[in-house]
Amino acid sequence: MPTTHLSLLLVNDDPAINTPMATLLNGAGYEDVRHCDHTAAARHLELRAPAVVISSGRQGVALTSQIRQLDERHDRYTWVILVDERSSGQLLDPAAGFGVDDVIDPGQVVEQLLPRVHAADHLSGLLLRLKHENRLLRDNLASLEQRNQVDAVTGLGNERYLRQKLGDSLRQIQARGGALCYLLIGLRNGPALLQSHGQGFHDELMQSVARRLQQMVRPLDVLARLDDHHFVLLTLPADLQECAPSSFKRLFDGLNQKGFLTPAGAIEVEAGVALVGVDAACLPMDPAHLQREAAQLLCRSHAAGVVTAKRMVPAA
């Protein structure tokens, strides 16, 4: 059974061609059949997009190109049937880039028009449903991404997770006392390794670095991947004096003194560790300020080859 409300647009400059096709389609039960010449086609396509367009000849090919541009702009799909003497193999070849969906020989219009429109009815509906479902999927993925707190490569918390945990930690020490150690861990040769070995290798290396870090931190510590080449560790010691380079030398040595086994062989990373300590006396404090301090210290850590540290002091 045809979908009686299927929107059909017949485009041809010769009314003697459009009118018989419209009559044939109306007789088969299709109620929404419009016809126009090529000059008026653009207005019809913009005002009320049809599901199926039937055109002919080289003007029909040019119209198809315009239809595909409109489809792209409005995220829809219009099924195009071309009445043409040229072979379907030539017109439907994806390499030709015509964008036509079906071809009817002019001598077979009476016999083939209705079966082809019935097929177009089914296939265009299927395509529209798939596009709608794909749009919903994209929207859902975007929504999930906005709430996602897991780094896809390492399984650690991501930057969003880190921001939340850093804010929670600062509020906790402001309310209950204690201290916060913010460690920024950077891989100085990370960009060079990525460039020389590729993304797959780099992802595998980051997974290995993440696993080694997890083995060296305490269960209640917060470990996150900040970006492609940086990790962050948050710890909550009882006293600010514990935020000292000696407390984290094992972590520094664990990354720098033992290579990582990869498909390219043993790889050594050049890790720097910057430590910023803060307690309740320094609060409230903008988390971004703490992160900027750590970034400056990391440059010194790379240059000196040691853990660099700073304890924040209350503002005067």
Q: What is the pLDDT of residue 79?
A: 92
Beta-bridge mates of residue 79: 52
Query: Residues, the chain, total?
Result: 316
pTM: 0.61
DSSP lists the bridge partners of residue 52 as: 8, 79
Selection from 276, 148, 271 nearest residue 209 by Cα: 271
Both 208 and 173 in one domain: the answer is yes
The per-residue pLDDT for 1 is: 62
Domain of residue 257 covers 159-311
| Amino acid code (one letter) for 82 | L
Q: Please enumerate in sequence order all residues whose Cβ is within 8 A of that of 310, keeping only pairs 6 or more positions apart, or say none.
A: 275, 276, 277, 293, 297
- Number of helices (H), then strands (E), in the chain: 10, 12
What is the distance, to the nearest Å, from the Cα of residue 309 to the centroid of all Cα atoms in its chain? 37
One domain, residues 29 and 172: no
53, 100 Cβ separation under 8 angstroms: no
What angle, rounded to 10 degrees, do the helices at 199-216 and 249-256 form? Answer: 150
**Residues 164 and 303 reside in one and the same domain:** yes
Identify whether 50 is part of a domain: yes
CATH number, position 252? 3.30.70.270
SS3 state at 264 = coil
Are the beta carbons of 129 and 146 closer than 8 angstroms? Answer: no
Residues 167 and 138 in one domain: no
Are 137 and 164 in a shared domain? no
The residue written with tokens 């088969």 in the block is: 28
The C-alpha angle with vertex 91 and arms to 90 and 96, in degrees rounded to 5, equals 80
Q: Which two structure tokens, joined as six digits, stand for 24?
A: 């044939």
Q: Which residue stretches of 177-286 are H helix?
A: 190-197, 199-216, 249-256
Alpha-carbon distance of 138 to 48, in angstroms, equals 25
| Model pLDDT, residue 81 | 92
Q: Which amino acid is at 305?
A: G
> Number of folded domains in the chain?
2
Note if the bond before 284 is cis, omega within 30 degrees: yes
- Please, are residues 103 and 88 in contact by the beta-carbon 8 Å criterion? yes
| Gyration radius of the chain over CA positions | 33
Integer CA distances (angstroms), 303 to 54, 145, 194, 254, 270, in order: 70, 36, 21, 18, 11
Q: For residue 132, is it within any domain? A: yes
- Regarding whether 70 and 180 lie in a shared domain, the answer is no
With tokens 């040691």, the residue in question is 306
**Domain co-membership, 116 together with 166:** no
Residue 151 lies in a domain: no
Are the CB atoms for 44 and 20 separated by under 8 Å? no
- 48's CB contacts (< 8 A; 6+ apart) are 7
What's residue 233's pLDDT?
97
User: Going residue by residue through the chain (316 aa), what tens digit of pLDDT does each one get?
Assistant: 677 888 999 999 888 888 889 999 998 889 999 989 989 998 999 889 999 999 988 898 899 999 999 988 888 899 999 998 888 777 887 776 788 989 999 889 889 999 999 999 888 888 888 888 888 888 888 787 778 899 999 999 999 999 999 999 999 999 999 999 999 999 999 999 999 999 999 999 999 999 999 999 998 999 999 999 999 999 999 999 999 999 999 999 999 999 898 888 888 999 999 999 999 998 889 999 999 999 999 999 999 999 999 999 887 6
